[in-house]
Structure 1
Amino acid sequence: PGNFVRLNINGYGRKKSFKSQARRPTKYRSWKRQQPGGGKPRAGADEEGDFVAEALLEREKNSAAGDDGVLKVVEVAREDPSEQNLEGLLRKVFGYDSFREGQLEAIQNVVAGESTVLVLPTGAGKSLCYQLPAMILPGLTLVVSPLLSLMVDQLRKLPAFLPGGLLASSQTSDEFHGTLRLLRAGEIKVLFVSPERFLNEEFLQIFGDTLPISLVVIDEAHCISEWSHNFRPSYLRLRASLLRRKLNIQCILAMTATATTQTLQEIVNALEIPSGNLIQTSQIRENLKLSISMSDNRLKDLMLLLKSPPFVNMRSIIVYCKFQTETDYVCKHLCDNNINAKSYHSGLLMKKRSRVQELFCSNKIRVVVATVAFGMGLDKSDVEGVIHYRLPESLEEYIQETGRAGRDGRLSHCHLLFDSTTFYKIRSLSHSDGIDEYAMSKFLNQIFSSGNTMGCICSFPKESTSRKFDIKEEVLLTVLTQLEIGEEQYLHLLPQFSVTCTLYFHKTSPQLLADKDILLRSILNKCLK
């Protein structure tokens, strides 16, 4: 008497249960991932939802039914996708007289149903290579993109009469099911999703004979490779075998701006694309002038750069930093010295990031001080300068970031402030980024412990597990994904479930109650203290 427990259940986003499809006849256990940080609402979740809702509303207002002239040109290109007919469609819809290098070959491959890897420099028109086929192909074009901001930006830039939509975790239930209704009604031709969607059986079951997919586009395809500078464990799931089995996909277009030979080989292998269907244009940009200087005081040297030719006369400059705090600090210093600057990093609310990008694109701010988060999908051709405040971690990263300058073909300058301290720190980290065998063994032992019987559903919080074993969350997820998609399937990874239950005890301590109740004792043993 007098003892009670108050339950406080918190979460965010849509919380749904998912039924798995028929499983392969191998022995595995099911694991469910939990959002790091427990049940605290995600910062900016509502704001992200508003951002997506605004984009969809804007898209709806700007959309228009295709006029007879456009429909006629589309029909001609569908019947005969020759260079002449495709160029006619290009002129009618996009206003260009001719294709850029690599575009025509990629479009003809896709329209013919041939999977293709497309490597074009940043700003060379990769999006057009799926937008134009989407008008011709009979079914849906599914675009997999790594960032919500990138999805929203690409959705906004679709031609007015090419209906598009997106599915995001920040959408409300009504918005999500509204998009599904449009999909089933055939009123969406291009759908943007994140790679994490492929964990969701409910999402995979949307598609079938009644909603065929003509093309899957994998944007930023270098994320498939563990050797790339932007590796994403969720991209590992994007394999040709899974796409065929789950979605009956026959044609894949993988797009990236930067990829090493090893990364390209991993993309080709994962997506089972013939090596002859690799389209790669020259990465050499003759209009970029690269320079480097030793620096013992980077902040002082940055100010000298910005106030000296050629940077002093530039209207649009990107300064890349390594850390969010460093970005804000450098930006404040520039503003204090009468340089019109704004900071940009993933720690800012999405609406603020979008506003900074809009101001920069309209030349209302001169300098954006940013982390690597800035630039993906940036629609600005007249960036005149890129300055690296710190040494990038890889040559790929350096090429991608400098490639955001001079897309208009004019002479542009890229400068790197080099200091030996940062160099040795990066070199040290690159050699120490391995995984301790003993820690990994303990992690695997937790997964396959005797208490986890075959077919049971288990969960673990990513953040605390990462701390416990001193292994990065990204590495943990990579290991779990490999255990599922390898030659033998050991487990089935369920979608992230972002909800927690907080227990409040009154009068009697939880330890005393646990001694009397085996169920409560089991719950407390699994709880985070």
Structure 2
Amino acid sequence: MTAAQDVLETVFGYPSFRGQQEQIVDRLIAGGDAVVLMPTGGGKSLCYQIPALVRPGTGIVVSPLIALMHDQVQALRLAGVRAEYLNSTQSSEERDRVASDYRAGLVDLLYVAPERLALDSTRSLLSSAPVSLIAIDEAHCVSQWGHDFRPDYLALGELGRIWPDVPRVALTATATRATHADITERLGLQGAEHFVADFDRPNIQYRIAPKNEVRSQLKELIEAQRSPTGEPVAGIVYALSRKRVEQTAEYLNANGITALPYHAGLDAAVRENTQSRFLREEGIVVVATIAFGMGIDKPDVRFVAHIDLPKSVESYYQETGRAGRDGQPALAWLAYGLNDVVQQRRMIEQSEGSEAHRRAQSMHLDAMLALCESVTCRRQQILRYFGQESGPCGNCDVCLNPPETWDGTVAAQKLLSTVVRLDRERGQAFGAGHLIDILRGAETERIRSQRHDELATYGIGADLTAVQWRGVVRQLLAAGLIASRGEYGVLGLSPLSAEVLSGDRVVLLRKDTMEAAPRARKAAAAVADLAEHDRPLFESLRQWRAGQAKEQGIPAYMVFTDATLRELSSRRPATLDALDGVSGIGASKRERYGQELLAVVAGAASERNAPERG
């Protein structure tokens, strides 16, 4: 047995490596550099944790979020690994203790933030003892093309010069070819071996719906995500603004759904409490801005919902990847409307930075809009964005309910003609709402006062409803066939509008299905793949785990994951030796929890075999 395989089994309790893990581990143990692109839930952490334990010295892990450090260190300690972190939440006495242990060679893995690593005092400390490897997690933060650029990451390119003989590994869950190349360049990893895993998350079902009373849609969606036993499940709802976060959380709570707001404007203690409750309690929904999530390692998040349009496919994929990390069925749902397109375009126009930066943002948005308006498999488009080809998945909304298309050329010409006439005849420009009123022949005060009922296009679009016209405008904006301009999002011609007006371009549009909310299939509970007679034992093990988690003040999954409890329920071990080979039970956890696990299994067996009483 190799040293890596031994650590995998005895420390982490896994019988075998998954995917490319073994090749990455071997590369780092041999002293080589690596760049790893692996989706959320793919097992990136083991790729650097195992080499750090095999090689002499301490593994240094650069991590962007304090919450992530804290959780990973807790989980490692439960597995018997001597893990520590250095960050601003510690007292000076705690940091001194960690420094002393590090110098004495008593630390296997040390987690630090990029900001702290930039300090001369930290680099001096790290140079005082052998370093086994350097892992840079969430490496997309170093790239200007990534979705979460952080300037502090730029200094990490110096690490190769400071520790030239120490292997380095950069890891991220989402990166396009441009981001991948940028990570390699900025971190000085030109000689690294590159490992690009399969980006597909087949357990996640992708659904994108047109907005129609989005809060009501969201409520119905969450209510549909209960487990087969009727219990609420954990989920994350992403919104663009702090105000929207708070209003949505308030609405959900008023409708019987336990929802907690999370954004950067809240007090640090409130954010910490929200994150703690989400990790430790069942059925909590967090409504958040993108400030929440990167450090969340909760495996049983059953849905991620977006009620505002993400800025890029990378952001979307990173955020939806927080669902279903345990491999069980999960849902990624996005509600998207005309105002999203106008707002995102306006934000790009008003953003600071160079023209090249704004062009890059526009390209990201165009790809996101193309995904939203797609009439082909969502998963195919997402994977193609990351350079991976696949066939139709059969498990997204487009595959399950193929959308109808219709020839929207005449409708587009009517809309564009109205824009032209207002501009040329009156020197005016308006937003979508007023243009739709003109086309539908509405009798509003604004139309009367502006004498827009005298326009040749007044009333020529009465064959479509206002909702249908908003769908037309949204799709034309997404395709670049009409333009949104200025602070108020008024509509004007784009470089492609002339082709539509002249009839040289056919405009095919998708028919929006405007039901209140697509009823998603119910999230599968952890017991779904268990035999009926094993389910009572599984529930007993869950109750035991909940007690352990509460006693230790840690999330339940840190004790054991649902996958481990399922395996225990089906195998029903009767001795400590029989616990060997159960996924997720390493030597430390066997010693700590083994006897109690056996007692729970034995108790369930006694209850099952007890004679029935009249």
Normalised to the residue count of structure 2, the TM-score between the two structures is 0.54
Instruction: Give the corresponding residue for 1:185.
Output: 104
Question: Contact conserved, 1:145 with 1:194, CA < 8 A, in 2?
Answer: yes
8 Å CA contact 1:359, 1:365 repeated in 2: no
Counterpart in the other structure of 2:119: 200
Paired position in structure 2 for 1:427: 345
Q: Cα 1:207–1:335, aligned 2, differ >3 Å: closer, same or farther?
A: closer
**Structure 2 residue matching 1:343: 3-state secondary structure:** strand
Equivalent residue number for residue 22 of structure 2: 104
The equivalent of 2:319 in structure 1 is: 401
Match of 1:7 in 2: none
Between the aligned partners of 2:342 and 2:15, the Cα distance in structure 1 is 50
* Partners of 1:102 and 1:279 within 8 A in 2: yes
Contact 1:243 1:249 in 2 (8 A): no
Query: How many Å apart are 1:89 and its aligned residue?
Result: 2.4
- Local SS of the residue matching 2:291: coil
- RMSD across aligned C-alpha pairs, in angstroms? 2.4
Q: Are 2:138 and 2:173, in contact at CA under 8 Å, matched by a contact in 1? A: yes
Cα 1:414–1:156 shift into 2, 3 Å? same
Q: Distance in 1 between matches of 2:326 and 2:89?
A: 35
Higher helix share: 2
Where relative contact order (Cα < 8 A, 6+ residues apart) is larger, the structure is 1
Q: Output aligned runs, 1:207-218, within 5 Å.
A: 207-208=126-127, 210-218=128-136
* Structure 1 residues 134-192: Cα deviation after superposition (integer angstroms, max 9, x where no partner): 11111121111111111111211214432122221343332222222111111112111
- What is residue 271 of structure 2 aligned with on the other side? 353
C-alpha contact 1:321 1:369 (8 A) present in aligned 2: yes
Match of 2:329 in 1: 411
Shift of 1:274: 4.4
- 1:354 deviation in Å? 4.1
Amino acid at match of 1:177: D
**Among 70, 81, 86, which residue is 1:162 paired with?**
81
- SS of residue paired to 2:44: coil
2:35 & 2:62 partners in 1: Cα distance? 14
Q: CA deviation at 1:362?
A: 4.4
Native 8 Å contact 1:342 1:365 kept in 2: no
Distance 1:295 1:316 in 2: 23
Output the CA distance in 2 between the equivalents of 1:326 and 1:275. 46
1:315 and 2:233 correspond: yes
Code of the residue aligned with 1:375 in structure 2: it is: G
Conservation of the 8 A alpha-carbon contact between 2:145 and 2:179: yes
Paired residue secondary structure (2:175): coil
Alignment of 1:117-516 (within 5 A): 117-159=35-77, 160-208=79-127, 210-239=128-157, 242-274=158-190, 277-308=193-224, 315-435=233-353
SS in 2 for 1:315: coil
Between the aligned partners of 1:309 and 1:189, the Cα distance in structure 2 is 41
How far is 1:270 from its partner?
2.1
Distance 2:55 2:27 in 1: 12
CA separation in 2, counterparts of 1:375 and 1:105?
Answer: 29
CA contact (8 A) 2:62 2:135 kept: yes
**1:140 touches 1:190 (CA, 8 Å); kept in 2?**
yes
Structure 1 residue aligned with 2:11: 93
Structure 1 CA distance for aligned equivalents of residues 160 and 226 of structure 2: 52
Letter in 1 for 2:316: Y
Q: 2-side partners of 1:366 and 1:424: how far apart?
A: 32
Evaluate the alpha carbon distance shift between residue 95 and residue 432 of structure 1 in structure 2; reply closer, same or farther with a 3 A threshold.
same
2:277 and 2:284 in contact (8 A); partners too: no
Task: Give yes or no for contact 1:216–1:249 (8 Å, CA) kept in 2.
Answer: no
**Partner SS, residue 11 of structure 2:** helix
The residue identity in structure 1 corresponding to 2:220 is L
Aligned mates of 1:97, 1:311 — CA distance in 2: 30
**8 Å Cα contact 2:143/2:186 also seen in 1:** no
Question: Following TM superposition, by how much is the alpha carbon of 1:344 offset from its aligned partner in structure 2, in angstroms?
Answer: 2.4
Q: Which runs of 5+ in 1 are unaligned?
A: 1-76, 438-529
Query: Taking structure 1 as reference, are residues 306 and 180 closer, same or farther at Cα in structure 2, changes over 3 Å only?
Result: closer
1:194-230 CA-partner distances (Å, limit 9, x unpaired):
111243222222233x412121110100001011111
CA contact (8 A) 2:324 2:330 kept: yes
TM superposition shift of 1:275: 6.7
**Residue ranges of structure 2 left out of the alignment (5+ in a row):** 356-614
Amino acid at match of 2:61: V
Change (3 A) 1:178 1:297: same
Q: Which amino acid aligns with 2:75?
A: K
1:254 alignment partner AA: A
**357-366 or 113-122, which deviates more:** 357-366
Change (3 A) 1:141 1:349: farther
Q: Shift of the alpha carbon at 1:400?
A: 0.9
Residue 416 of structure 1 and its aligned partner are, at CA, apart by 0.7
Task: Identify if the C-alpha distance between structure 1 residues 254 and 166 changes in structure 2 by more than 3 Å, giving closer, same or farther.
Answer: same
Residue-by-residue CA offset, 1:408-437 (whole Å, 9 max, x unaligned): 333322211111112221122224424379
Q: Distance in 2 between matches of 1:134 and 1:308?
A: 43
Is the contact made by 2:208 and 2:335 (CA closer than 8 Å) also made in structure 1? Answer: yes
Amino acid across the alignment from 2:39: P
- Amino acid of the structure 2 residue aligned with 1:273: L
Change (3 A) 1:375 1:326: same
Which stretch of the first structure deviates more once superposed, 387-396 or 368-377?
A: 368-377
Does the Cα contact within 8 Å between 1:321 and 1:370 map onto a contact in 2? yes
Aligned residue for 1:127, secondary structure, equals helix
Deviation at 1:345, TM superposition (A): 2.7
**Aligned counterparts of 1:249 and 1:157: Cα–Cα separation in 2:** 29
Query: Which amino acid in the other structure matches residue 129 of structure 1?
Result: C
User: How many angstroms apart in 1 are the aligned matches of 2:135 and 2:85?
Assistant: 14
Q: What is the SS of the residue equivalent to 1:386?
A: strand
Q: Is the 8 A contact 2:238 2:289 kept in 1?
A: yes
Report the counterpart of residue 69 of structure 1 in structure 2.
none
What displacement does 1:257 show? 0.6
- The C-alpha deviation readout for 1:260-293, integer Å capped at 9, x for no partner, is 1111101111233347711111111222221112
Contact 1:207 1:247 in 2 (8 A): no
- Percent identical among aligned pairs is 38
Contact 1:213 1:249 (C-alpha < 8 Å) held by counterparts = no
Change (3 A) 1:129 1:419: same
- In 1, distance between residues paired with 2:179 and 2:267? 32
Distance 1:435 1:405, change over 3 A: closer
